[in-house]
Amino acid sequence: MQSAMTLSFSQTSSFTRPNHVFGSAASVFSTPKNFRFCGLRRGAFGFSPSNQLSLRSNRIRTQSSGLQVSASASSNGNGNGAPLKSFDYDLIIIGAGVGGHGAALHAVEKGLKTAIIEGDVVGGTCVNRGCVPSKALLAVSGRMRELQNEHHMKSFGLQVSAAGYDRQGIADHANNLATKIRNNLTNSMKALGVDILTGFGSVLGPQKVKYGKDNIITGKDIIIATGSVPFVPKGIEVDGKTVITSDHALKLESVPDWIAIVGSGYIGLEFSDVYTALGSEVTFIEALDQLMPGFDPEISKLAQRVLINPRKIDYHTGVFASKITPAKDGKPVLIELIDAKTKEPKDTLEVDAALIATGRAPFTNGLGLENVNVVTQRGFIPVDERMRVIDGNGTLVPNLYCIGDANGKLMLAHAASAQGISVVEQVSGRDHVLNHLSIPAACFTHPEISMVGLTEPQAKEKGEKAGFKVSVAKTSFKANTKALAENEGEGIAKMIYRPDNGEILGVHIFGLHAADLIHEASNAIALGTRIQDIKLAVHAHPTLSEVLDELFKAAKVESQATTRTGDAKIKLNMKQEDPRRGGDDERQPLVSEDLEDISTRPSSFFENIYVGVLSLLSRVFV
């Protein structure tokens, strides 16, 4: 049994509590606005085992003194003595990928009894057949590319003999990484008490799930997190050897001399980086008129100049691969191309292998969605902004949520995890809506590409409709000391923003460690931080983070910074010695609305009440 009590005063002044708060009444107290007690006995303040309070509902107010007392406890009742409907679990999650795992851990943190169902292996696509093993292959390709660049090595004064590789060793590295991360995810859930149930899960009805052959469990809330599978267009025959998807490619069973990659998005670009570093020639087949659709056009143009043109890569744009036949009987892989618009035959390619990188499709078949009247849209489960599932009549299905690739909002592993955490917040009683425009994305080529928010065309279209101006700021990696020290000056950072109020609409980076740098921008968007404020932040020198620092400073914003020195809320009482010089620098933050010294201020009527209440409460603590 866990319980908690919150005391809050309606006074304007705010204080911090020393660690010895539970000493005698004569101890020195400072008064917080919100103070949380843990470990109260059940009988405290009239709580009894037969009348336990709901976790988020009951509150006792003392209006005359401005004192508010809030008590909460784990509960099997409704606060009126009547039992609630009994469930096997507070939360059931179908799918133990990254999204399901993130939701499960957050649910345990919130005190929810949680079960997660997995019909394959823990970790889902990302860990076993996606972003994790692909990063192992890309780590190899990055090192190979650097060792093979004689000019680059000589610029450091290094001499390296011809670099070679062991294909099976590379494959083992990717497989071992996936196994390690999978075990880490499994152990983390087990250690926190999440029940991992094996078998294919499906929805039997409201708050009821079946898994395995005939196991049935109930849950107050249910999350569908079944992910996605590689999408293979009609007319393409996949044999897993010469015509493959990303699932097969990650095993690296061969390195073909010439491989065609159908699709030039994230997956296609990353595998082109791997294959060309290992010696393959690559041909891109792209249905749209330009390579790298979905990226900001300016970033796409520069990336093509660096990632594609200098390498053993050619491409066909504006064409469909209408038919692909695997290699057999000594014949190569045959690829028939047609014009994407007219559907007229264009060309026929003969290659050693073909990788289908045309995106992913939601894995939602067999989930029993018909039992709750849910109709998928192109396979995706329809949800609202809170990930609540919508049925065929446009009505919300009570207590049923869907996160990750299965809902199609943003098909990224970390987006699935963020959606799962958002759902847990909601079922725990705190409304939460995830801002998907603040979620970053990255392509782990060499150099990397990252982005968050809108592209320049998207932002301008939005500005035209909403009636605001859009501006663009840019900075180059060639002006960054750390990038130049690494001889990696190729790259730019670009920010799209509103000059009238400093709102960041989008940030796009192409360059060294772009995937790591993007998070300062994504956090700024998520927190609503404006350019005029973040441009005052200090970045260590010399670091790559200064690329973003210069980007923010390059923006021309009409509004002034919202933070001023005189508005400081925290006063630091510190010695002059700096710990980096061997001194004893103990810092005690004293929170005060008007920065007055609270040690000289007389006790107020409410503080005296507070001390008396603390003295009373200390007697009921375990």
The catalytic residue positions are 541
Beta strand segments in 477-605, E: 492-497, 504-511, 570-573, 588-591
Biggest alpha carbon–alpha carbon distance for the chain: 94
Contact (Cβ atoms closer than 8 angstroms) between residue 47 and residue 73:
yes
**Which residues are 487's β-sheet partners?**
none
Is the bond into 579 cis (omega within 30 degrees of 0)? no
Alpha helices in 389-534 (DSSP H): 413-427, 456-466, 481-485, 514-527, 531-534
Q: Are 247 and 238 in contact (CB under 8 A)?
A: no
Which pair of tokens denotes residue 536?
A: 């005052």
- Asked if 291 contacts 262 with a C-beta cutoff of 8 angstroms, the reply is no
Question: What CA–CA distance (Å, rounded) separates 614 from 37?
Answer: 10
Whether the CB-CB separation of 195 and 116 falls below 8 Å is answered with: yes
Amino acid of residue 484: L
> Taking the alpha carbons of 76, 79, 82, 87 in that order, is the dihedral positive or negative?
negative
Q: Are the beta carbons of 454 and 496 closer than 8 angstroms?
A: yes
Tokens of 159: 């001499």
Alpha carbon dihedral 296, 302, 304, 305, in 10-degree steps, equals 170
CB-CB contact of 530 with 503 (8 Å) = yes
In this structure, the chain runs to a length of 622
- Sign (positive/negative) of CA torsion 316, 314, 361, 302? negative
For 10, the token pair is 């309606």
- The set of residues, in sequence order, having a beta carbon less than 8 Å from that of 522 and lying 6+ positions away, is 438, 439, 440, 452, 453, 507
Determine the 3-state secondary structure of 570 from DSSP: strand
Type of residue found at 46: G
Q: Which residues contact 610 (CB under 8 A, 6 or more apart)?
A: 7, 9, 29, 31
